[in-house]
Amino acid sequence: MKKLIILSFLCSLICACASVHQANLDWIPIGPEFEPTLAADIEIFTDRSQITRPYGNLGLLRIKNLEPDRDSLKRGVQRGRKFVASKGGDAMFLGQYNSAEDGAPNPKVTLIIYALKYGDNLTEADIKAMNEFEVESALNNSIGF
């Protein structure tokens, strides 16, 4: 019985940590999702002038409340890279907001990531997904969503 209580407590603790971990993610879709890509293949840009291929924006990802230290930010970037890959992205445009700029006593960082899909290697299925997303968006806007 004692083992069951301890096991239940540990499961509850793990679930709580997982939900807190996910709570700092905010995804705003702007385009359709595609077949997942490999996280290692996601290119990272920090300036628009670095992007030399035509692209579309799949969405905006915010990873909030990160500690402003190198390791936390590095983990956040890797997490963003995996997320962008899960949406079928090819690259990500990375920015950040640091609450220290507004004088926060305990500053946190929000990573701002645009998930990008290159337009020069789209398949017919990709183009179909984009067209369907555009139609669904128009319908949702016309009925107030």
Q: What is the pLDDT of residues 31-50, one digit of tens each?
A: 888 999 999 999 999 999 99
At 145 the pLDDT is 40
- Cα dihedral 18/23/24/25 (nearest 10): 100
Q: Are the C-beta atoms of residues 30 and 58 closer than 8 Å to each other?
A: yes
Identify the sign of the CA torsion 36, 33, 22, 10. Answer: negative
Question: CB neighbours of 130 closer than 8 A, spacing ≥ 6?
Answer: 31, 32, 56, 122
| Residue 17 domain flag | no
| Residue 9 domain flag | no
At 138 the pLDDT is 60
| Residue 1 domain flag | no
Whether the per-residue pLDDT at 143 is higher than 60: the answer is no
| Residue 114 domain flag | yes
Whether the per-residue pLDDT at 19 is higher than 50: the answer is no
CATH number of the domain within which 91 lies = 3.30.110.70
Q: Give the tens place of pLDDT for each residue, 60-103.
A: 999 999 999 999 999 999 999 999 999 999 999 999 998 877 78
| Residue 46 domain flag | yes
| Residue 134 domain flag | yes
Count of domains for the chain: 1
What's the pTM value of the predicted model, to 2 decimals?
0.74
Element (H, E) at 8: helix 2-23
Structural domain containing residue 82:
23-142
